Structure 1
Amino acid sequence: MIERHSNYRERAFSLVQARGIVRARDFKAAGIPLVYLKRLTDAGDLVRLGRGLYQDPERSGENIAHDLAEAARLVPHGVISLVSALRQHGLTTQLPHAVWMTIPHKARTPNPTGLRLEIVRATGEALTAGIEHIQIEGVEVPIYGVAKTVADCFKHRRHVGEDVAIEALRDALRQRKTSPSELMKFAAIDRVRGQMDPLIKAMQ
């Protein structure tokens, strides 16, 4: 039994090292029972990026930063947002399965080869407010700041999950990465004051 588990582990490692990000069905096609994926994830041998997506833990941080730079190159009118921005700001333990970007409402949906994107759309101040720039691999990457990112998570809570939005708000306040007044400024822009105001008051 131990030998069989070791064999599955080796095969799983070979797949993630060869492909970077691997789907559950690809493990299954390689003869690796899906029950072993949970064991490997629990042991820290695999990182679960999202439903049915897995990655080598040693490559996860490197790939996430590279993907942000690549997304900025390929989608110059987009802004890194939501879960990808939370990750960059240290406000979530979740590893995004794709790069989350906000683009203008009427812009064509980008479909770059080899890069997974999750796209949301915005107009006016909801698109342009709160943008910062960071340097990754020599690329200037536009990304929403902490307060705008948290407000966006409440605005798009159906996409990212309300639990993710609340966790981000709590961590942003606890780590003093933003202030209640700054959060409420962007909550007004995103029209989510009603959702955020009582939570902010309860967390102070």
Structure 2
Amino acid sequence: MTTRSGRERALRKATAKPLVDAKAISVHSQQLTRLVREGALERVARGTYRIVDRPMSEHQSFAIVSTIAPRSVICLLSALAFHEVGTQLPFEVWVAIERGTRPPRLQNPPVRVMRFSGDAFRSGIETHTIDGTRVRLYGIAKTIADLFKFRNRIGVDIAIEALRDAWQRRLVTIEEIDRYARVCRVQRVMQPYVEALVA
């Protein structure tokens, strides 16, 4: 049976951040299980917990995925939603992982895994803190280039909408778009759309 002081100590460690990695806080799994049964904690993924009465942020699903798979990068439609570009609101968290890396195993939130390699994976990564968790995601210009790269899966209309919106709101420059179009090898595909914007 957990003593009151043991329970309080476990709860204090678990409430240090909105999302808690069980290994990082050194609390015995039985104590965490009891706290879940009592309704103080909610298990969001294997080894990851959150405080029940703490409000969830808009992008908490990104923090959950980043806790489970810290080397993954939030990409494509999820990155667009984070940057508030376009009108897409995906129900899945779109993540990029490097080829040869194991995909994150999550049931909730649902995850759509995309495999990137080389500079296409490493370029354009920004780091943000969401709910106390370090989250890696692609910047706007890189996300737009990725949308054109995966236009057959996502739809060219979404890529064009994102490019127009970001350009009209002055969130990207031609130099940034060109740099990431080269990295993603979609310069020729993007060229007519970019020329139409600057004409």
TM-score, with structure 2 as normaliser: 0.69
Given candidates 75, 81, 85, the residue that maps to 1:87 is: 81
Deviation readout 1:151-198 (Å, 9 max, x if unpaired): 000011122211110000001110110101110100000000011111
Report 1:122-141 matches (<5 A): 122-141=116-135
Distance in 2 between the 1:121 and 1:140 partners? Answer: 21
Read off the aligned partner of 1:93 and give its amino acid letter: T
Equivalent in the alignment of 1:39: none
Kindly report structure 1 stretches of 4+ aligned residues shifted beyond 4 Å. none
Query: Which of structures 1 and 2 has the bigger CA Rg?
Result: 2
Distance in 1 between the 2:113 and 2:152 partners? Answer: 13
The alpha-carbon deviation at position 75 of structure 1 amounts to 1.2
Unmatched runs of 5 consecutive residues or more in structure 2:
1-55
Aligned to 2:109, the other structure's residue is in SS state coil
Report 1:1-204 matches (<5 A): 64-204=58-198
CA contact (8 A) 2:57 2:131 kept: no
Equivalent in the alignment of 1:33: none
Q: CA RMSD in A?
A: 1.2
The alpha-carbon deviation at position 64 of structure 1 amounts to 4.5
Distance in 1 between the 2:176 and 2:183 partners? Answer: 11
Distance in 1 between the 2:159 and 2:81 partners? Answer: 12
Distance in 2 between the 1:63 and 1:153 partners? Answer: 26
Distance in 1 between the 2:136 and 2:103 partners? Answer: 18
Read off the aligned partner of 2:112 and give its amino acid letter: E
Deviation readout 1:3-33 (Å, 9 max, x if unpaired): xxxxxxxxxxxxxxxxxxxxxxxxxxxxxxx
CA contact (8 A) 2:65 2:104 kept: no
Aligned to 1:114, the other structure's residue is in SS state coil
Unmatched runs of 5 consecutive residues or more in structure 1:
1-61
The alpha-carbon deviation at position 63 of structure 1 amounts to 6.1
Identity over aligned pairs, percent: 38
How many pairs does the alignment contain?
143
More divergent stretch after superposition (162-171 vs 113-122)? 113-122
CA contact (8 A) 2:79 2:143 kept: yes
Larger helix share, 1 or 2: 1
Read off the aligned partner of 1:136 and give its amino acid letter: I
Distance in 2 between the 1:114 and 1:202 partners? Answer: 41
Read off the aligned partner of 1:122 and give its amino acid letter: F
TM-score, with structure 1 as normaliser: 0.68
